[in-house]
Amino acid sequence: MIIIYHPINLVYIATVKTGSVSVKRYIENTLHYQYYNYHIARSNHRDNYQPNLMNFYLHSNITQVKQNVPGAENFKFFTSIRNPYKKLVSFYEYRHQEGWHLSPRENVLTGVEYDWRTFETWIKSMYDKHGHCHVDKNIYYENNIPACDHYIDTDNLYDDLDGLLQRYNIYKPNIERKIRNKGPEREKPIEEYYTPELKQIVEESFKWEINKFNYELT
C-alpha cells in the first residue's frame, strides 16, 4: 500500500506487519484526506499512473513510484519499521492461520514459492533461494540501500507519526486514534521460534534495521 499526500508531496510506503492500517487511519483522522480504494490519489495525477491503479497502489515500491508519478523523484518518502524478529513471526503466523502451511505457496511480493510448513522451513527456504529473508525490504530500498527520508518505528508508532507531521507543519492535535485489532495469537514466545541458525539469518538479512533501531530478540 502506498499513500501519497499531494499537498506537500509526502509518500507513505507500507510494508507487511508494520502497522500500515493504523498509519492509514491516523492519516485519515489527522489530515482528513480521502481515499480511492484504500489509497490516496488526486485527480490531477491519476491519469499519469499505471493503468491498473489498484495494483499500483497495492504493490508498488519506492522505485516504481518515482518512475510512474510525475515529480516523485523530489517527493519525501517514509515507511514504518518493525523489529524484524517480531515482523517475521507475525507474518508467518498470519499466513499460517490462512492455511499456507498445508502446501508450498508463492509469495505475492516475489513470485517465488516457499516452504511454509514451519517457521523454520519458511525462513530457510527464503534464505536458500535468495541468500536472505527480507520478505519485502525492496519496498523501501533502492540499489540495496535504504531510500526513505523518514522511518516510523512501530514500537513508537503514534509519537513518531506526531513528530513527522509536526516537522512538516501539518500536525493537528487531539485527533481520535483508532488502533487496529491485534493479529493472531502466537503459539509461543518470540524467542522460541528462533534457533541460533535462524537468528543469524535474520541478523544478516536485517543488519541495517537492527543496528539503526537497536532491535533485539526479546
Residue 166 pLDDT > 50, yes or no? yes
**Does the residue 172 lie in any domain?**
no
**Does the residue 54 lie in any domain?**
yes
Q: How high does pLDDT run on average in the chain?
A: 81
CA-to-CA separations, 163 to 28, 105, 155, 160, 192, in angstroms, rounded: 17, 39, 14, 5, 35
Residue 49 has a pLDDT of 46
**Does the residue 177 lie in any domain?**
no
Question: Looking at the structure, do residues 130 and 193 belong to the same domain, yes or no?
Answer: yes
DSSP 14-48: --TTSSHHHHHHHHHHHH----BTTB---HHHHTT
- Rounded Cα–Cα distance for residues 62 and 66 (Å): 6
Residue 41 has a pLDDT of 42
Question: Looking at the structure, do residues 96 and 20 belong to the same domain, yes or no?
Answer: no
**Does the residue 103 lie in any domain?**
yes
Residues 89-109: tens digit of each pLDDT? 999 998 888 765 555 555 555
Question: Looking at the structure, do residues 50 and 105 belong to the same domain, yes or no?
Answer: no
Question: Looking at the structure, do residues 41 and 12 belong to the same domain, yes or no?
Answer: yes
Question: Looking at the structure, do residues 98 and 36 belong to the same domain, yes or no?
Answer: no
Question: Looking at the structure, do residues 119 and 50 belong to the same domain, yes or no?
Answer: no
For the chain, what percent of residues have pLDDT higher than 90?
47
Question: Looking at the structure, do residues 109 and 11 belong to the same domain, yes or no?
Answer: no
**Does the residue 114 lie in any domain?**
yes
**Does the residue 61 lie in any domain?**
yes
Residue 8 has a pLDDT of 85
The pTM assigned to this predicted structure is 0.82
**Does the residue 109 lie in any domain?**
yes
Report residue 174's pLDDT band, with 50, 70 and 90 as the boundaries.
low
Residue 170 pLDDT > 90, yes or no? no
For the chain, what percent of residues have pLDDT higher than 70?
74
Total domain count, the chain: 2
Report residue 24's pLDDT band, with 50, 70 and 90 as the boundaries.
confident
Question: Looking at the structure, do residues 58 and 150 belong to the same domain, yes or no?
Answer: yes
Measured CA angle at 100 (ends 39, 113), to 5 deg: 85
Greater confidence (52 vs 134) lies with 134
**DSSP state for residue 117 in the 8-state scheme:** S
- Lowest mean pLDDT segment, chosen from 18-27, 138-147, 175-184: 175-184
Residue 198: CB atoms within 10 A of its CB come to 20
Question: Looking at the structure, do residues 115 and 191 belong to the same domain, yes or no?
Answer: yes
Residue 187 has a pLDDT of 67
Question: Looking at the structure, do residues 146 and 122 belong to the same domain, yes or no?
Answer: no
Question: Looking at the structure, do residues 163 and 111 belong to the same domain, yes or no?
Answer: no
Question: Looking at the structure, do residues 13 and 74 belong to the same domain, yes or no?
Answer: yes
**Does the residue 176 lie in any domain?**
no
- Rounded Cα–Cα distance for residues 71 and 198 (Å): 41
Name the residue range of residue 72's domain.
2-82+137-167
Measured CA angle at 21 (ends 28, 96), to 5 deg: 165
Query: Do the Cβ atoms of 57 and 38 come closer than 8 Å?
Result: yes
Residues 176-191: tens digit of each pLDDT? 565 555 555 666 899 9
